[in-house]
Amino acid sequence: MMGAGLIKIRGDKCWRDLTCMNYHYETQPVPNPLAYYMHRNPGWFHQFETLVNHFIELIAPFFIFMGRRMCIINGILQLLFQVLLILSGNLSFLNWLTIVPSIACLDDASLSFLFSSKDGSAKHQVSKIQRQTSTGERPTRSYGFYIRQALHISLGILIAYLSVPVVLNLVSARQVMNASFNPLRIVNTYGAFGSVTKDRTEVIIQGTSSLDPKDPNAVWEEYEFNCKPGNLTRRPCVISPYHYRLDWLMWFAAFQTYEQNEWIIHLAGKLLANDPTATSLLAFNPFQEKAPPRWIRGEHFRYKFTRIWGTHSAEGKWWIRKRIGPYFPPVNLQGLKKYFQSRSWPLPSTPSKQE
Q: What is the pLDDT of residues 130-146, one digit of tens each?
A: 776 666 656 677 888 88
How many CB atoms lie under 10 A from the CB of residue 290?
Answer: 11
| CA proximity to 273, closest of 204, 353, 178 | 353
> Can you spell out the DSSP letters for 208-235?
E--S-TT-TT---EE-EESSSS-STTSP
Averaged pLDDT score across all residues of the chain: 88
Helix intervals (H) in the chain: 21-27, 33-38, 43-54, 68-88, 94-103, 108-111, 122-134, 143-162, 164-170, 245-254, 263-272, 276-279, 311-314, 333-342
The 10s digit of each residue's pLDDT in 152-211 is 999 989 989 998 988 888 777 777 777 888 888 888 887 666 678 899 999 999 999 999
> Can you spell out the DSSP letters for 122-178?
HHHHHHHHHHHHHTT-PPP--HHHHHHHHHHHHHHHHHHHHTHHHHHHHTSTT-EES
Contact 336, 265 (CB under 8 A): yes
Cβ density class 26-60: b for 16+ within 10 Å, e for less: bbbbbbbeebbebbeeeeeebbebbeebeebeeeb
- From CA 50, how far away is CA 190, in angstroms rounded? 19
Q: What is the DSSP letter of 59?
A: I
Measured CA angle at 277 (ends 276, 282), to 5 deg: 80
The 10s digit of each residue's pLDDT in 7-32 is 344 567 888 899 999 999 999 999 99
In this predicted structure, the answer to whether residue 122 has a pLDDT above a threshold of 90 is no
Contact 246, 281 (CB under 8 A): yes
The 10s digit of each residue's pLDDT in 333-347 is 999 999 999 999 998
- From CA 40, how far away is CA 140, in angstroms rounded? 61
**Contacts with 29 (C-beta within 8 Å, 6 or more apart), sequence order:** 2, 89, 90, 91, 228, 247, 248, 251
pLDDT number for residue 46? 96
Q: Please classify residue 91 by burial: count the beta carbons closer than 10 Å to its beta carbon, then call 0-12 exposed, 13-18 middle and 19+ buried.
A: buried
How much of the chain exceeds pLDDT 70, in percent?
92
Q: What does the radius of gyration of the chain's CA atoms come to, in whole angstroms?
A: 26
| CA proximity to 93, closest of 184, 30, 177, 185 | 30
**Run of H or E including 39:** none
User: Mean pLDDT over residues 50-74, rounded?
Assistant: 92
User: Mean pLDDT over residues 204-220, rounded?
Assistant: 95
Between 29-38, 85-94, 312-321, the lowest mean confidence (pLDDT) is in: 85-94
Contact 107, 53 (CB under 8 A): no
φ, ψ dihedrals at 324, nearest 5°: -90, -45
**Run of H or E including 186:** none
Residues, the chain: 355
Amino acid (one-letter) located at 313: S
Contact 328, 249 (CB under 8 A): no
Sign of the CA dihedral 224, 40, 1, 323?
positive
Q: What CA dihedral angle connects 238, 241, 247 and 250, to 10 degrees?
A: 120
